[in-house]
A and B are shown apart, each in its own frame.
Chain A
């Protein structure tokens, strides 16, 4: 398995390279090769869960062994957390590609779409696997540049403007991250995450270590669209083609932002209370402001985009509470529970928000309208889309049979056990706000009489409805992850990989 790790980056890159060459001769090639690649990678990441459980797998690029205990190769590290992220990324990418087969026909330059999507997935897989800070930055840029191009794919006024805004803010974020990496290299003379973690332990009270941590919070917070840094997200996510919105909201803000924050703060820096408090505060702010702004939105996709900010807030709260509990040396089980809640919500949000953006795309595909005031009565004309949209909405807002309920419940329980009652109260309250705007969305879309004429509306083609149905079923099926056996198999390895502070370094430096 060790030698299979680079495949997660190589396969999508190879597909991206081959697509423009071959698509001239074979029209079906771009879609089929992308689907094949993502399916293979999903199977590979499931194989890791079945066969390796908790072990950390390593790939040293170029086969360079450590010299005197100093790692000199670029490391690709596959542990429970990376594998979980890989599973989410490639799973959502598979269904987005399947969905795009019908959806993307209205655009010109179809093969380019698949090329860019493959590049984005290659970048995200690289970020998740990378065990080296600079390598992580390079892959993050690959994913980001592909996503800039994909946001502008429609080349209309709104798309271009959103893409420019996204690029400027994304560019600043990348530069701040690069500054942080430069400072890490200055203080520790190494870039390997485990090596840095061992050296930086001695700097825990140091000003420079604090400055580096703040740079990383700002940089990756911008990429994850936490609240003071969220301005680009509603524009970019609502202007992109719908399957891309699914990828951006469902996966990119997590793989490029939240994942890296969790990885760096649990595995690299020594956790301090102040930083943990900062992350929790940012999470609470994102949750509140994103949710409140979503109430006033009348554009389907823009509402979903604001909701994404709010849900990323929930994930950060799970992470922040875990860090605060660890920093105050309280019960580790509570920290593990909070982190479990955060990761579980990450999975649920990826599937749920991916699904919701797909339904937004379907409504736009069938009617050409995104304004909620002008829609209505679609439940008779588009039964599959409307039931899928209902499932996704209820999962994100957290109603009991759907998976979002359990993850939010776990986060709230962890907050109460850790005696952060205010956070628990706000999280529970925002859940009601979320429910309110999603219920209004459902009402406006599907039940009320349409205000303008929507006559010739038909259900969307098979590829689109199939992906929506599958993800809709997943919204309910994922609640099974709360069952102890399944939890042990899927999420616990990820939590353990983050918690065994010693585990990550020791396995690598051997």
Chain B
């Protein structure tokens, strides 16, 4: 149970980063931390105690396997996370070029 709670703590750490930090790069880092805490959580869901890699080989006796589905899903989710992060950082670079700062308090052209 402890590992799940640790995952959740990591998730909250990331959320704190997103909500409390003023630097947009740190906000992006916070989002990544949240993302990876979830990936960890989902891989743990599929973990079976003393389970083996889910590959069928002739002459292998053991029948307890870890669940491969969350692993496949996480691989997909990592790729999606890569795209999201690349997009966020590209926008962050453009923002720095236009505003000359990474401080969210000074990036406030939109109001209302």
Contact = CB atoms under 8 A, between A and B. Distances in A.
Contact of A164 (B15, B76, B88): B88
B45 A164 contact: no
B110 A175 contact: no
Contacts of B87: 145, 148-149, 167
Contact of B84 (A134, A141, A302): A141
A168 B76 contact: no
Contacts of B41: 179, 182
B95 to A, nearest CB: 5
Interface string B9-43: 00100010010000010010001001100100110
Describe B's contact surface by its main secondary structure.
helix
Given A138-B80, A167-B87, A161 B110 contact: yes
On chain A, which size bracket covers the interface?
35 or more
A168 B31 contact: yes
Q: Which of A148, A156, A161 is packed against the most chain B CB atoms within 10 Å?
A: A161
Interface in A293-339: 296-297, 299, 302
A141 to B, nearest CB: 5
Contacts of B11: 179
A370 to B, nearest CB: 13
B83 interface: yes
Given A161-B107, A178-B77, A182-B45, A168 B27 contact: yes
B83 A155 contact: no
Contacts of A148: 87, 91
A60 B77 CA distance: 22
Given A171-B31, A297-B112, A163 B91 contact: yes
Contact of A168 (B18, B73, B94): B18
A175 B34 contact: yes
Contact of B83 (A145, A234, A235, A297): A145
B67 to A, nearest CB: 8
A156 B107 CA distance: 12
B91 A157 contact: no
Interface in B82-112: 83-84, 87-88, 91-92, 94-95, 98-99, 107-110, 112
Contact of A171 (B76, B77, B84, B112): B84
Interface residues of B, number: 33
Interface string A171-206: 110110011001001100001000000000000000
Nearest to A155: B94
Given A161-B110, A164-B88, A164-B92, A182 B98 contact: no
B66 to A, nearest CB: 13
Nearest to A235: B110
Nearest to B8: A179
A158 interface: yes
A83 interface: no
A276 interface: no
Contacts of B24: 164
B15 to A, nearest CB: 8
A492 interface: no
Nearest to A293: B112
B112 to A, nearest CB: 6
23 contacts: A134-B76, A145-B80, A145-B87, A149-B87, A158-B109, A160-B91, A160-B95, A161-B109, A161-B110, A162-B110, A164-B24, A164-B91, A164-B107, A168-B31, A172-B31, A178-B38, A179-B41, A182-B70, A185-B42, A185-B69, A191-B69, A234-B112, A299-B112
Given A162-B110, A234-B112, 11 more contacts: A138-B80, A149-B87, A152-B94, A158-B109, A160-B94, A161-B95, A161-B107, A161-B109, A164-B95, A168-B31, A299-B112
